[in-house]
Amino acid sequence: MDLLKILVLNTNDESLLDVLAVANTLHNKSGPFACALILGDVKKCSDALTNFQMELPTYIGNGSELSDGNISHSRDLNENLTVLNGFGFIKLANGLKIGYLAETSKLSDSARAEVLKNFQELSEQTSADILLSYDWSEAISERENLILGNSLVDQVASLMKPKYHFTGKNEKQFFELDPFVWDHTNEHICRFINVAQFKSGSKWAYAFKINLLEGLETIPDNLIDNPYLEKPSGKRDLVPDPETDNSSAVSKKQRKPKQVLPSECRFCLSNTKLNDHMIISISKFSYITIAKGPLTTPGNDMDFSGHCLIIPIEHIPKLNTAKQEAVITDTDLFKDLNKFEESIAEMNFKRYDMSTLIFEINSSNAIHFHKQLIPVPKYLIGNFISALNRQVHMNNEKFKSNAKLEFKEFEGFDDKEYLGLVNDHETNYFQFIIRETASSKPKVYISVFDKDERIDLQFGRRVAAFLLKQPKRTMWDSKVCFQTKQQEEKDVSNFQRAYKNFDFTLK
């Protein structure tokens, strides 16, 4: 089958007729297109459109309101004009499969469960080539530090696994996420795209070609991790509860943590696919590597990024595990990690006159515990509390589904209250450590959360990015943070050269 050429545009009530006319023009000049898909907050698809002649099949999403009050009631206005109301799924004569989902935040739990149930049943039979949604997915919205997401979109997208997912809720800005793979078995790739609105000054029309056959797409070089798999396991899903007779009931069971074996873990030395070219130094109980997609960049006298990870050799999700009997600060692993931490902080201060920020997540639902260390100029480290408070406010007030964070400050690791928290294997917590100089007592900031609560896995990096005034480098897998293997090898070599006189494993 030949590639299908599709046109996607974003409009509103006022400019709908103008955009439909543009679609006809583009079809004649740049087409032919198999169909046009209209995004945007279009509420009034009135009968006046019945006589509007479209020269290609055109499908209009109704945006944030359900026409006729129906949750799913799409209708043909004429031979080439169809309104996609609420939610649903259509398969065109050419084989193109389109799923669609209007704004759903005002729906009751029972109505949301009905939507999800329908897509669950569909997903058992087919997938979607294209998904249209009024809202962004929550995972991608939070990944980009935006407030445009709806968790139901995440669930529908994960079920239908579209090749293209279009939305237009961010009316002012065009956005295209780097592609990711739904299923590594057949390399099923997805692209998420927000098309800006007509007359916004940003890209409001998007044309592309799609192949309906599986397995024929070239795998792009800029693949990122599936953002839906990165979502914390504490998120509660609106799934009908099979144990009740009430069809509107929703499950309160949390998703089980993903189980990853050491042979598959990207931090385990036993994994044959480990990026061992990134390793800086190995000790008896832990090792250090440079960070993939580092937040910091070389500058001044430091000819490497300085962003590194300290990783236990043992495959453990957290330090305070149930099998740990001794006081955590007395364990061999803690002492080993702390030696790396202290020696790197000493290097940062003595060689480069920089402080060191360390952050970690201790969670029962994690895969392999690690600490991240970032060099911070001394003139910026005093702004850490402001950066932390700002991100806590964002987390607690704007992302209501996240665990509410409240950090306590401690001097060093010997405070009784602090030890009571970290020694309890039931405790899950975020932790930041500030090592201002090579000899100053570390300042520790800790916030506990329940293992069933949703957490932002990028919280620590968001704080550090704001502190360092590097908003574009917040996400490790963004284009601006990408390093080639050759660049990573150079970073390791330069780090090792600078660290040589501080590395306790060489003494």
User: Between 443 and 265, whose confidence is greater?
Assistant: 443
Q: Is the peptide bond before 227 cis (omega within 30 degrees of 0)?
A: no
pLDDT confidence band for 369 (50 / 70 / 90): very high
Lowest mean pLDDT segment, chosen from 70-84, 280-294, 468-482: 70-84
Domains, the chain, ordered by start:
4-210 (3.60.21.10), 276-506 (3.30.428.10)
Mean of the per-residue pLDDT values of the chain? 85
pLDDT at 279 over 80: yes
Give the CA angle between residues 388, 313, 311 to the nearest 5°: 20
- CA pair distance 405, 96, nearest whole angstrom: 45
Distance (Å) of CA 16 to CA 80, 232, 260: 15, 39, 49
Q: What letter represents residue 301's amino acid? A: D
> pLDDT of 17-69, one tens digit each?
999 999 999 999 998 999 999 998 776 666 667 888 999 999 998 666 554 44
pLDDT, average across residues 439-464: 92
Residue 213's pLDDT is what?
A: 75
Are the C-beta atoms of 25 and 17 separated by less than 8 Å? Answer: no
pLDDT, average across residues 154-165: 93
Residue 237's pLDDT is what?
A: 38
pLDDT at 249 over 80: no
pLDDT at 235 over 60: no
Percent helix / strand / coil, the chain, rounded to 5:
30, 25, 45
Radius of gyration (C-alpha) of the chain in whole angstroms: 26
- Residue 398 is given by DSSP the state I
Q: DSSP string of 459-475?
A: HHHHHHHHHTT-GGGSS
Residue 247's pLDDT is what?
A: 30
Residue 469's pLDDT is what?
A: 93
Residue 240's pLDDT is what?
A: 33
User: Between 212 and 70, whose confidence is greater?
Assistant: 212
Q: What letter represents residue 143's amino acid? A: R
User: Between 107 and 468, whose confidence is greater?
Assistant: 468
Are the C-beta atoms of 196 and 12 separated by less than 8 Å? Answer: no
Q: Which of 59, 42, 149 is nearest to 99 (CA)?
A: 59
pLDDT confidence band for 242 (50 / 70 / 90): very low
Residue 65's pLDDT is what?
A: 58
Residue 394's pLDDT is what?
A: 86
Residue 14's pLDDT is what?
A: 85
Lowest mean pLDDT segment, chosen from 107-111, 254-258, 417-421, 459-463: 254-258
Beta bridge partners of 7: 36, 207
Q: What letter represents residue 222's amino acid? A: N
Beta bridge partners of 12: 41
Count of beta carbons in the 10 Å neighbourhood of residue 485? 10
- CA pair distance 324, 357, nearest whole angstrom: 26
Q: Quote the percentage of the chain above a pLDDT of 70.
A: 87
- CA pair distance 71, 31, nearest whole angstrom: 34
Residue 143's pLDDT is what?
A: 84
Residue 43's pLDDT is what?
A: 66
- CA pair distance 45, 55, nearest whole angstrom: 18
> pLDDT of 131-153, one tens digit each?
999 999 999 988 887 888 888 99
User: Three-state SS for 492?
Assistant: helix
Count of beta carbons in the 10 Å neighbourhood of residue 93? 7
